[in-house]
Amino acid sequence: MSDPNKQVKRTRDLYQKAEKIYPRQVHGIFARLRVLSVWALLGFFYIGPWLTWNGRQAILLDLPARQFHLFGITFWPQDFIFLTALLIIAALALFFFTSLAGRLWCGFACPQTVWTETFIWIERFVEGDRNQRIKLDKAPWSINKVFTKSTKHFLWLSFSLFTGYTFVGYFSPIKELTVHLIEWNLGPWEMFWVFFYSFATYGNAGFLREQVCLYMCPYARFQSVMFDEDTLVIAYDEKRGEQRGHRKKSDNEYREKGLGDCIDCKQCVHVCPTGIDIRKGLQYECIACAACIDVCDDVMEKMGYEKGLIRYSTEHAMNGKETKILRPKTLLYGALLTGLMIAFSIALAFRTPLEVDIIRDRQRLYVETPEGLIQNVYTLKVANMAQSDHSYEISVDGLPDMKLTGEKAFSISPGEVKTLTYRVAVDPGDLKRTSSEIFFKVSSTDEKGIEQSQEARFIGPALGR
């Protein structure tokens, strides 16, 4: 009989601590593709700020100056429509490729995957492969363990700081940033963002890893909306693999024993960066890295079995039905994506690096000059969005014998916005209505093709006055 005076303390964890995953190194076609993807993407990221174009940093997102330099093109706040279009295109591309081939982005190109893969390489280089890392973590603390762990974290931190420095180099000229860094004379915001991005890289790729994909990334949650029975996913062939069971390589009668091709080696689990068992079916944790395909094919080859027990397939194909690549969803995504890309390319190709805004003086509708003409006053803001100086001339059209008073020829430096005031006078006999259309045309005199024509309203007296 229990003692009623004795209190039993019971606790319940509200959050289960994540178990550390030790992905094993794998070799195969998809592993090579993943390595190639990591090298290509990291190479572009780290080399990008050092590229030059016409004596200027080729990729520079200069926020203080409100200029985005992308090779030979300079974008301004007025070009925000291009950024909007680019984001829409990126979203549609993600939807399109997800509906076709699942989470290819997550497995091969996502920054979280790319940097996590790099950190795992460093970890594997210092601590060894899966079994060695598990053994090291279980071992009591010693001088060797402290040295090994310190070396790993030193390399992680060094790589993270280099990443943060490179990231800031896209927003602040990297050559100047390098000089300031050597002299330890970084500005407060530059210092903040270098350390902030370094800390984010160190934390996400070194510690959080798969937890970012499982709990923080929204894509893992809404991907199922874009999946259907014809979407290409990583699948385990249950009909061929079950029942699982260990056996010797020389056992050619395993079928008679009721066993399938799966030898239950659990290598597909050991190589998975999110720690799932693909044999349980498609799960939202799967990032489609295809490591399980490579290792399973290797095991099948060693056992003398046909490859493809785990493979890229569709739900229809696994059930013996025909897979339809062209279906309403993919056709719609593809058509929208193609149309937007064509429209974006045309708009970018015909983009004029000149912006003209017209504001008519609204304090007075019009003025009668001593000569008896009707005069309107306009303020023009002309922005040179090119990367070099340009000279311009201005003209006005739309009504007969208009007289334009103001600076008709002028020069503007790159990025400069020039404010000009003009007076337009018209004989009242030439006015057919109270409000008429006129057009201000600004043209470059030193480079053909750079011109803008903007509509304005010319206000005159009421007819019959």
- The answer as to whether 1 is a domain residue is no
The answer on 118 and 235 residing in a single domain is yes
The answer on 299 and 370 residing in a single domain is no
Checking if the pLDDT of 7 tops 60, the result is no
The answer on 335 and 373 residing in a single domain is no
The answer on 238 and 107 residing in a single domain is yes
The answer on 58 and 183 residing in a single domain is yes
At 12, the pLDDT band (50, 70, 90 cuts) reads low
Q: How far apart are CA 442 and CA 390, in angstroms?
A: 12
The answer on 234 and 191 residing in a single domain is yes
The CATH number covering residue 431 comes to: 2.60.40.10
15 versus 369: which is more confidently predicted? 369
For the ranges 51-65, 157-171, 209-223, 311-325, the maximum mean pLDDT occurs at: 157-171
- The answer as to whether 9 is a domain residue is no
Tell me which residue range forms the domain holding 73: 18-351
Q: What percent of the chain has pLDDT over 90?
A: 74
Domains held by the chain: number: 2
| C-alpha dihedral (220, 224, 225, 227), degrees to nearest 10 | 120
The answer on 389 and 321 residing in a single domain is no
As a whole number, the mean pLDDT across the chain is 91
Q: Considering only CA atoms, which of 310, 320, 240 is closest in space to residue 281?
A: 310
The answer on 363 and 431 residing in a single domain is yes
pLDDT at residue 1, as a whole number: 46
Give the predicted TM-score (pTM) of the model. Answer: 0.85
pLDDT at residue 453, as a whole number: 93
- The answer as to whether 10 is a domain residue is no
Q: Considering only CA atoms, which of 189, 207, 211, 187 is closest in space to residue 199?
A: 207
The answer on 116 and 58 residing in a single domain is yes
Q: How far apart are CA 91 and CA 94, in angstroms?
A: 5
Distances (CA, A) of 350 to 82, 117, 344, 393, 416: 13, 41, 10, 21, 21
- The answer as to whether 198 is a domain residue is yes
- The answer as to whether 2 is a domain residue is no
The answer on 171 and 202 residing in a single domain is yes
Distances (CA, A) of 391 to 76, 360, 384, 411, 448: 20, 24, 10, 4, 11
Tell me, rounded to whole angstroms, the distance of Cα 308 from its chain centroid. 33
Domain final residue, candidates 334, 351, 368: 351
pLDDT at residue 14, as a whole number: 52
pLDDT at residue 363, as a whole number: 85
Which residues contact residue 441 at a Cβ distance below 8 angstroms, ignoring those fewer than 6 apart?
Answer: 394, 395, 396, 397, 451, 452, 453
pLDDT at residue 32, as a whole number: 97
Given a contact cutoff of 8 angstroms between Cβ atoms, the answer to whether 227 and 99 are in contact is yes
Residues 126-142 have a mean pLDDT of: 96
- The answer as to whether 404 is a domain residue is yes
The answer on 39 and 168 residing in a single domain is yes
Domain final residue, candidates 327, 351, 375: 351
Query: Cis ω on the peptide bond leading into residue 243 (within 30° of 0)?
Result: yes
Helix extents (H) in 48-171: 80-101, 104-108, 111-127, 130-138, 143-168
Quick: pLDDT tens for 36-76.
999 999 999 999 999 999 888 999 999 888 889 898 888 88
Distances (CA, A) of 383 to 336, 354, 363, 396, 457: 33, 6, 25, 18, 21
- The answer as to whether 3 is a domain residue is no
Q: How far apart are CA 220 and CA 234, in angstroms?
A: 15
Q: How far apart are the first and last CA of the chain?
A: 112
Residues 254-272 have a mean pLDDT of: 95
Domain final residue, candidates 351, 377, 404: 351
pLDDT at residue 8, as a whole number: 45
Residues 318-336 have a mean pLDDT of: 91
pLDDT at residue 457, as a whole number: 94
Characterize 424-437 residue by residue with b for buried, 16 or more Cβ atoms within 10 angstroms of its Cβ, and e for exposed: bbbeeeebeeeebe
The answer on 394 and 256 residing in a single domain is no
Which residue reads 């591309």 in tokens?
93
Q: How far apart are CA 425 and CA 252, in angstroms?
A: 100
- The answer as to whether 4 is a domain residue is no
Q: Find the helix or strand (DSSP H, E) in which 376 lies.
A: strand 374-384
Quick: pLDDT tens for 273-298.
999 999 999 888 899 999 999 999 99
Checking if the pLDDT of 354 tops 80, the result is yes
Distances (CA, A) of 221 to 103, 211, 217: 12, 13, 8
